[in-house]
């Protein structure tokens, strides 16, 4: 089996673990945590679960990018960045960039502190905003997955 096929397997597996985890947090964990009674329980439970997933997501984002750029290089397909028909290549890169900035920069430097501060002040509002942000990223990721799977198999939509 060729190396590029292994890269595709790693790419899809990493995306499944990463975006699947985001789906689990958005559709199951945040709604469950919202229902907990005390602020302290909400903060502790959410931080413990999301903190553990953040480490898994970091590894998955690195593997996704390494395999993705390797496939692009092997296919000699960098010029796809210049063709709007390949909007899904741009979408994959942008989604990866957004999550990378959140996971490696914003979360440790800023979001962690803001989350604690605003959950103490107004837990309902903080969780509502955070839940919405998770849905936005999840829906953009779903659109990207649809575009990338179709596009990789010759269906470009535009």
Distance of alpha carbon 52 from alpha carbon 150, whole angstroms: 32
User: Does 141 interact with ligand HEM (rule: CB under 6 A)?
Assistant: yes
Rg (CA), the chain: 18
User: Does 71 interact with ligand HEM (rule: CB under 6 A)?
Assistant: yes
| Minimal distance, residue 98 CB to ligand HEM, in Å | 9
Q: How far is CA 17 from CA 50, 59, 103, 149, in A?
A: 14, 10, 15, 16
Instruction: Say if residues 70 and 76 touch (Cβ distance below 8 Å).
Output: no
User: Does 22 interact with ligand HEM (rule: CB under 6 A)?
Assistant: no
User: Does 120 interact with ligand HEM (rule: CB under 6 A)?
Assistant: no
What residues numbered 30-69 form the site for ligand HEM, per CB under 6 A? 64-65, 68-69
User: Smallest Cα–Cα separation from 36: which of 50, 46, 48, 21?
Assistant: 46
Return the residue of 93, 104, 131, 137 that touches ligand HEM, per CB under 6 A: 93
| Minimal distance, residue 130 CB to ligand HEM, in Å | 20
| Minimal distance, residue 4 CB to ligand HEM, in Å | 9
Q: How far is CA 145 from CA 3, 24, 150, in A?
A: 22, 16, 8
| Footprint on this chain of ligand HEM (rule: CB under 6 A) | 8, 11-12, 15, 19, 64-65, 68-69, 71-72, 92-93, 95-96, 141, 144-145, 148-149, 152
């Amino acid at each position: 089996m060729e190396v590029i096929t292994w890269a595709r397997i790693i790419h899809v597996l990493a995306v499944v673990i990463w975006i699947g985890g985001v789906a689990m947090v958005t559709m199951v964990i945040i709604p469950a945590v919202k229902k907990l009674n005390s602020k302290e329980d909400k903060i502790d439970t959410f931080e413990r679960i999301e903190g553990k997933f953040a480490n898994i997501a970091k590894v998955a984002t690195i593997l996704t990018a390494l395999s993705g750029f390797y496939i692009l290089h092997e296919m000699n397909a960098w010029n796809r960045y210049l063709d709007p028909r390949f909007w899904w290549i741009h979408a994959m890169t942008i989604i990866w960039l957004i999550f990378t900035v959140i996971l490696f920069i914003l979360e440790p430097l800023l979001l962690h502190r803001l989350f604690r501060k605003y959950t103490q002040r107004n837990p309902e509002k903080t969780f509502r905003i955070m839940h919405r942000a998770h849905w936005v990223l999840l829906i953009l990721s779903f659109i990207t997955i649809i575009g990338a799977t179709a596009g990789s198999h010759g269906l470009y939509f535009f």
